[in-house]
Copies of this chain bind each other. A is one copy, B any other.
Amino acid sequence: MSKLPSLKNLSYLLALHQHQNFNRAAQACNVSQSTLSSGIQNLEEQLGCQLIERDHKSFLFTGMGEEVVEQARRILTSTEELLYFAQSQGKIMEGPLRLGCIPTIAPFLVGPLTKQLQVDYPKLQLNIREDTTENLLHLLRNGELDVLVLALPVDLQGNQSYVLGRDPFKLVMHQSMADNLHEPVQYNQLPDNSIFLLEKEHCLTGHAVAACELADSTKINPFTATSLHSLVQMADARLGATFIPQMAIDRGILNGTDLVALQPTGQQASREIGLVYRPTTNRRQTFRRLAEFIAQLLPEPLLK
């Protein structure tokens, strides 16, 4: 059996991939440029294949190089997790935890979550990153985040998940608009272009349309908002109606407005909230505990 590549050299390769420059990568690794350079050459020799195409001025990762980077990232992430796990002596609710959350959940979950975690698990250092589903999944893969709170269903790309609970959608509109409507609201009672949604980057848009069975796209206004708060303001300005998740309403997003929340059409007019983690993790116990913890903060907990 040939000798295994060293983690050190693999980390050099990752740094080089990230910085695309030997000097900066070397700096990031706290070694000299020559060390990194020879480390990479070493690796190429051990793996018996070319990872980067060099020219005297610059270089380019080969296809094989890119694939090795991918796999190396997973190996290093696993090793870091092992180190962390051992060092924390199996204390599952202590130390840093990097959590990613989508923008249509974060503002309404993070407050109560951090507050309650502080009470129950004061040694847990929660680090939260808010971004789109797609970006969060990328960061999870790269080992830059440990766990995500997403709205399901979504292509988990090989990751695993716990289903935490459901979050009902409400059809929100100005009081004056709601007068002659019956619940659940039939959308054909609404004028064309009267429903406002978020930009399509937000998974909430698709989930709401599907869950609330809004088949008639002529009701949807082509102008999109960038946040739930914008949607609320637009509805309050009597521009039209919109879908708002119960979580946001519970956290008072409609306070100080003249908006009402009506039951929309749809067998199960709600989205599912899930906790997503790498299949290779060794922090399942932590995530399980966290899942139970978050579930109890949702409008309709499903877990446990």
Taken together as a complex, chains A and B put the C-alpha atoms of A78 and B76 apart, in Å, by: 10
A79 contacts the other chain (Cβ, under 8 Å)?
yes
User: Chain A 1-30, CB within 8 Å of chain B: the 1/0 string?
Assistant: 010111110010000000000000000000
Contact present for A5 and B83 (CB under 8 Å): yes
Looking at the assembled complex, report how far the CB atom of A29 sits from the nearest CB atom of chain B, in whole angstroms.
Answer: 11
Contact present for A87 and B4 (CB under 8 Å): no
Enumerate A63-111 residues with CB–CB distance to B below 8 Å. 63-64, 67-68, 70-72, 74-76, 78-83, 85-87, 89-90
Contact present for B49 and A89 (CB under 8 Å): yes
Taken together as a complex, chains A and B put the C-alpha atoms of A46 and B173 apart, in Å, by: 59
A252 contacts the other chain (Cβ, under 8 Å)?
no
Interface size class on chain A is: 35 or more
Contact present for A282 and B64 (CB under 8 Å): no
A280 contacts the other chain (Cβ, under 8 Å)?
yes
Looking at the assembled complex, report how far the CB atom of A285 sits from the nearest CB atom of chain B, in whole angstroms.
Answer: 10
A48 contacts the other chain (Cβ, under 8 Å)?
yes
Contact present for A280 and B279 (CB under 8 Å): yes
Taken together as a complex, chains A and B put the C-alpha atoms of A83 and B7 apart, in Å, by: 12
Assuming the contacts A4-B7, A4-B79, A6-B6, asked whether A86 and B64 have C-beta atoms less than 8 A apart, the reply is yes
Determine which of B47, B63, B87 lies in contact with A83 in the assembled complex, contact meaning CB atoms within 8 Å.
B47
CB neighbours of A83 from chain B (8 A): 2, 4-5, 46-47
4 tightest A-B contacts by CB?
A47-B86, A279-B279, A71-B82, A48-B87
